[in-house]
Amino acid sequence: MKNLVSMQDLSIDEISIILERAEMLKRFGIRELPKKYFVSNLFFEPSTRTKMSFEMAERKLGLETIPFDAGFSSALKGESLYDTLRTLEEIGLDAVVIRHPEERYYEGLIGKTNMAIINGGDGSGQHPSQSLLDLFTIKEEFGRFHGLNVLIAGDIAHSRVAKSNAAALTKLGANVTFLGPSEWAGEFPSVNDWDGMLDTSDVIMLLRVQNERHDGTTKFTKEEYHERFGLTVERERKMKPGSIIMHPAPVNRDVEIAGSLVECERSRIYKQVENGVYIRAAILETVLHKEESAWENSSKVHTY
């Protein structure tokens, strides 16, 4: 794997190799790679988790992270993303993590640079590193994907997390269902009430309401949204025994999830953040240093 841009590109075996490597790194620790690599995190949209956990993984792997501030870069003078990447390649970078508001920004870039490209989120398109850390968290909990009932609830149309996870979880044999306002369903057929969802779902994955991607005509107040589509305290009480709550975060407390549930016993929201560092280290190893990731040597056939 040279680049990681979309979960749709990954086979079950490719997903499995990254999950297994992350598991090893979590068990035995992230070690410095034997060779020096230079990377940069190019974030043209806000981020806390993705940017900081890539940076933490890079430091633990002993990579040299060259700072990039989109607000003070020549992108502000009109330089294209392609020209920015060609420039960074000539400067000597080996890999870039990119978050960009334009969906599929990477399509014109793959194959035109020798640097590895890791997609840290493209508009409402894909968020593969988030999906892999979500899969890692689910596997840690249940040890399998096949037959699991996963409910993805909220602002589906604007969510790159929903699209990445729908593709990956379906490929791995989970039953994925969607819940949310019909005007935010996008390409996914979704239900708009919780009847029959709470006591059957193994995972309830809530999505952030992405106000910044709406056109200002949102018809719900926060209270109305929470009452109709949010995970309320009453709904949590009816969840299936052993089921878990996930959310990619940041969380709008008391909108998609009651504030008091963010750190409740079922919640794996901060576990997802912790797992993000191991997944991102596994991704960086995989694209930069195949010998270390065991990517080349794996011939195992994975089933879930």
Contacts with ligand CP, residue ranges (CB under 6 A): 47-50, 121, 130, 248-250
For ligand CP, which is the closer residue by CB, 129 or 197? 129
Output the smallest distance, CB 182 to ligand CP, in A. 25
C-beta of 243 vs 272, nearer to ligand CP? 272
Is the CB of 245 or the CB of 249 nearer to ligand CP? 249
Q: Which amino acid, 41? A: N
Q: How far is the CB of 121 from ligand CP (least distance, A)?
A: 6
Residue 133 to residue 283: CA distance in whole angstroms = 11
CB 244 within 8 A of CB 266: yes
Beta carbons of 129 and 283 less than 8 angstroms apart: yes
Burial (Cβ within 10 Å: 0-12, 13-18, ≥19) of residue 86: middle
The residues with which 20 forms a beta bridge, in sequence order, are: none
Residue 130 beta carbon to ligand CP: minimum distance, rounded to whole angstroms: 5
User: Nearest distance from residue 39's CB to ligand CP, in Å?
Assistant: 17
Place of tokens 């930069």: 288
CB of 256 to ligand CP, least distance (A): 13
Which of 251, 202, 199 is closest to 230 using CA atoms?
251
Closest CB 144 distance from ligand CP, rounded Å: 24
Q: How far is the CB of 245 from ligand CP (least distance, A)?
A: 15
Cα–Cα dist 65/149, whole Å:
39
Q: Whose Cβ is closer to ligand CP: residue 37's or residue 54's?
A: 54
> Minimum CB separation from ligand CP for residue 264, in Å?
19
Cβ closest to ligand CP, residue 106 vs residue 295 = 106
Cβ distance to ligand CP smaller for residue 49 or 139: 49
197 vs 205, which CB is nearer to ligand CP? Answer: 205
Task: Name the residue nearer to ligand CP (CB basis): 278 or 295.
Answer: 278
